[in-house]
Amino acid sequence: MSIEAFDRVELDGTGIDRITEAEVVAVVREALSAGRGGRIITPNIDILRRAQRESEAREHLADADLIVADGMPLIWASRLGGTPLPERVAGSSLIWSLSAGLGLDARSIFVIGGDPDNDGAAKAADRLAAENPGLKIAGTICPDFGFEKDPGAYAEVCAKVADAEPDLVFVGLGFPKQERMIVKLKPLLPTSWFIGCGAAVNFVAGDVERAPRWMQRTGLEWAHRLGTEPRRLAGRYLRHDAPYALRLLAQAPAQRALNRTRVL
């Protein structure tokens, strides 16, 4: 199953692959078998909004091999626009499904991120390995906060990952910090796959509780995260992301009409 088999749905100028989570796993497994590396990015409302204003966000999206919708507002907007995406494909779910798929092939992962006070990356890796027979752990790193400001420490992290030669690297440092690290690592590991997975490492490690499934399905996961981290997320969610999401949904019917006009 090649990447070229999937078309992209445009949402406010960003192309999102029309692909399911199971198909993402199949694409990565097939690419690894063929010796091809790649990069997955999982834009949510915040990343989509930032792509309108920041060239760096647009560059990360342009560099990705797979772009999947991590957020129900993106799914709703695609449906209202007449080009529905099949489902939400969240980084916090992909960390499990990709690990399961790679376990079937006896391949390896490297986990970066998590709470440095609790060695979150190692805890997450241990849990993934325990629940996915065959999965190999190439290594883990739980860098201290602010490590990216120290060139020596940053280079040391990159060297450790490169030396381990993993098949897939989960980078849970938050956007865009995780994407910047992937840019550094890709040339060092051209046959590996990379995904920036945000808080997924914390979820797997058990240091942060993910929202119940009904909140994930109904698009309310943001409310759960806001409740658990109000000081960090309130400004971003309420002042910036919520108004942008409403604008995106309001514009979708006009996009649907434009698509119909193009067809005619």
Nearest to 65 by CA among 162, 195, 201: 195
Ordered domains of the chain (ranges, CATH)? 3-263 (3.40.50.10700)
Question: What DSSP character marks residue 186?
Answer: G
Taking Cα atoms as reference points, which of 77, 43, 45, 78 lies closest to residue 63? 43
Strands 193-196 and 168-172: parallel
Give me the pLDDT at residue 67, please.
97
At 263 the pLDDT is: 45
* DSSP for residue 67: E
Number of alpha helices (DSSP H) and beta strands (DSSP E) in the chain: 13, 8
Question: Rounded CA gap, 167 and 157, in Å?
Answer: 17
Question: Buried b / exposed e across 74-112, counting CB within 10 Å, b at 16+?
Answer: bbbbbebbbbebbbbbbbbbbbbbbbbbbbeeebbbbbb
For 194, the token pair is 């990379």
Count of residues in the chain: 264
pLDDT of residue 92: 94
Within 10 angstroms of residue 236's Cβ, the number of other Cβ atoms is 15
pTM over 0.85: yes
Question: 179 CB contacts (<8 Å, ≥6 apart)?
Answer: 41, 60, 196
- Give the pLDDT of residue 257: 52
The strand pairing partners of 140, in sequence order, are 111
pLDDT at 242: 82
Dihedral, CA of residue 223, residue 247, residue 86 and residue 24, to nearest 10: -70
Amino acid at 62: A
**Predicted local distance difference test score (pLDDT) of residue 22:** 98
**Average pLDDT per consecutive 10 residues, the chain (264 residues; last block may be shorter):** 75 95 98 98 95 95 96 93 94 97 98 93 97 97 92 95 98 96 97 96 87 68 65 69 86 65 47
User: What is the per-residue pLDDT for 264?
Assistant: 45
Residue 243 confidence (pLDDT):
87
Pairing of strands 8-11, 14-17: antiparallel
Contact 116, 145 (CB under 8 A): yes
Joined tokens for residue 47: 């990343």
CA-nearest of 136, 148, 145, 146 to 110 is 136
What's the CA gap between 170 and 202, in Å, rounded?
12
